[in-house]
A and B are shown apart, each in its own frame.
Chain A
């Protein structure tokens, strides 16, 4: 029974991490109907920003999360302003998509050149604090991951539902042209989407850093799962993404326990194929225009 409970805790931690990464992906897809392949590299850069803030500048771990959030946001703004927005203006949907692949490869290699290939030991002060209760355990870092993930979800939900900008963002997601006629500047809101999504990715990097193996390829190792979660949750559906993230995290933990870790990808991707075949709208079915 303890093992079952422990694997449940492990699954929620893992799911929370996946949700942090997948939220940004789903936001961009919800508003732009565009997949951002560079998202993984923003996660990685966020992790490195937090690492160097702590180990280079002597900062604390909690402030380093804010630094990673800021770095991610600035990077999102830069990428959209310099690359994606000009390409979108050319009217092609394919060009920005391909550009995200180009940006991803460029960033990965730039990070390889700057940071080198050798894994970094990114331990937060909370990584080695283990709390034990009734035969179960959780590190303080993992508890922090759950807390930050929950707070991020709550703040994002509040932003989308109750603020003018959030409502405007949803309006752009539903119908960009009509939103424009209502006095909303769609380009500014697309920019805002990129900034929020990238800031979330940066922050996810800071949270993942102590859990992941920190190399220039760190983000790439979770992004495939994040894409799967976005699909299982329903393309661009925030609530679906949150649910799918937690489901995938729990599936991974229990698969490891009862079938072996070698079966994880098989189980997750069979689920993905089943969702595509049986329920292509995702776990929480909604009209696409209401997703974000």
Chain B
């Protein structure tokens, strides 16, 4: 082989290799990388387990055909529902995975901790489970929230308690976290402004196990109309049972009605038993909703997992479909995804609609559904919104 021929072969090889590298890079470019920061361990890990199911279902459906020629890919990191593990997980995700968009966290304290990291890395963060007002006030250009914040929820619950339930006295029960304190504060302000009276304001740590003493204290306060409760499922169960045992709530023969928020998963009533009778709470997803999107989601979920979906499955599913919606509208990288999310109009997900204001808070209230626990532990949709 002559020297000239050898050079030609080498040059041809280099060209083929370059073409392959470019093609491979383009194929990679066609994948939208989604980082998922979810509590997979610790007391909030039921969020992560259920979110993952909703995400996987959405991915399976979207990736069948792709969206605008792109596939979606998710990498999960355990953010532990707490600031320190969330910060570590977010750094790992940003440095190693280099996501185009991140979804999560569920707990407000964890979300608040990761927001500055996402802003610094210029990666949009789409949140569906944290209620603290600090997440969207005064506004962060890289953080979006689908669910109603604590002010939207708190004002709505307090107003409904006063006007629809004719409640005049309340006891606030909440975990001592940003979300717990914030939600309770909004209820307090709205309820007292309307003319109601807060008989006791009781915050507690996540390490409290036995709520009999708290229930005893509430029982000693006299007539209590409503007890807004802001806590995770585990403690929520014990609070509901303790209040019934102390004869405070309807479930224990008393008159007080427990009010709750989006935090609790479906199936809570079955675990709490008759103690949950009359419990009214907000859920982010109404399984009796007859919109085709909701019926299709429920059918697909049951087919894949052989179980009924909860609002946690639903809001995780909506996070992915909202990102797919942004990709469909031409977004392809972190900045364009952020811009597309901000420009979202009339997105209709299974939890409700999405349209963001200038603080990137979803302003649509049709994601708020009120449910009341019936004597057979089933739900009755209250149609208050």
Contact = CB atoms under 8 A, between A and B. Distances in A.
A224 B205 contact: no
Residue among B241, B246, B252 with the highest chain A CB neighbour number at 10 A: B241
A117 B203 contact: no
A118 B264 CA distance: 11
Contacts of B241: 127
Interface in A45-83: none
Contact of B205 (A121, A127, A222, A261): A261
A116 B241 CA distance: 23
A119 B237 contact: yes
Nearest to B220: A3
Interface stretch (B83-91, B270-278, B341-349, B351-359): B270-278
A160 interface: no
B173 to A, nearest CB: 10
Interface stretch (B39-47, B99-107, B324-332): B39-47
B49 A14 contact: no
B28 interface: no
A11 B216 CA distance: 11
Given A3-B216, A10-B212, A137-B246, A121 B202 contact: no
B221 to A, nearest CB: 10
Contact of A261 (B213, B238, B246, B275): B213
Q: Chain A binding site: helix, strand, loop or mixed by DSSP?
A: helix
Given A119-B237, A128-B274, A262-B204, A10 B210 contact: yes
Given A261-B208, A262-B176, A7 B216 contact: yes
B318 to A, nearest CB: 21
B48 interface: yes
A213 interface: yes
A215 B48 CA distance: 14
A262 B205 contact: yes
Contacts of B238: 211-213
A112 interface: yes
Interface in A247-278: 252-253, 256-257, 260-262, 264-265
Interface in A1-31: 2-3, 6-7, 10-11, 13-14, 17
A123 interface: yes
A176 B311 CA distance: 59
Given A112-B45, A213-B234, A10 B272 contact: no
Contacts of A213: 43, 209, 234-235, 237-238
A112 B41 contact: yes
Interface string B212-244: 111011011000000000000111011001000
A247 to B, nearest CB: 15
Interface string A174-199: 00000000000000000000000000
B45, B202, B212, B241, most chain A CB atoms within 10 A: B212
Contacts of A130: 245, 247, 252
Interface string B43-61: 1011011100000000000
A163 interface: no
A257 B211 CA distance: 11
A217 interface: yes
Given A118-B49, A130-B245, A14 B210 contact: yes
Interface residues of A, number: 40
Contacts of B45: 112, 117-118, 215
Contacts of A132: 247
Contacts of B270: 121
A223 to B, nearest CB: 10
Interface in B290-308: none
A224 B207 contact: yes
A257 B48 contact: no
Interface in A114-138: 116-119, 121, 123, 127-128, 130, 132, 137
B42 A217 contact: yes
A121 B237 contact: yes
Nearest to B238: A213
A137 B245 contact: yes
Given A137-B246, A213-B238, A117 B41 contact: yes
Nearest to A109: B41
A260 B234 CA distance: 20
A211 B209 contact: yes
14 contacts: A3-B217, A3-B220, A13-B212, A121-B270, A123-B273, A137-B247, A139-B245, A215-B43, A215-B234, A217-B42, A252-B210, A253-B213, A261-B204, A261-B208
Interface of A: 2-3, 6-7, 10-11, 13-14, 17, 112, 116-119, 121, 123, 127-128, 130, 132, 137, 139, 142, 211-213, 215, 217, 221-222, 224, 252-253, 256-257, 260-262, 264-265
Q: Which 10 A-B residue pairs are closest in the complex by CB-CB distance?
A: A117-B45, A213-B234, A121-B271, A256-B213, A261-B204, A118-B46, A3-B220, A119-B234, A253-B213, A10-B213
Given A7-B216, A117-B40, A262-B203, 6 more contacts: A6-B219, A7-B217, A119-B233, A121-B237, A222-B209, A262-B176
Interface of B: 40-43, 45-46, 48-50, 176, 202-205, 207-210, 212-214, 216-217, 219-220, 233-235, 237-238, 241, 245-247, 252, 265, 270-275
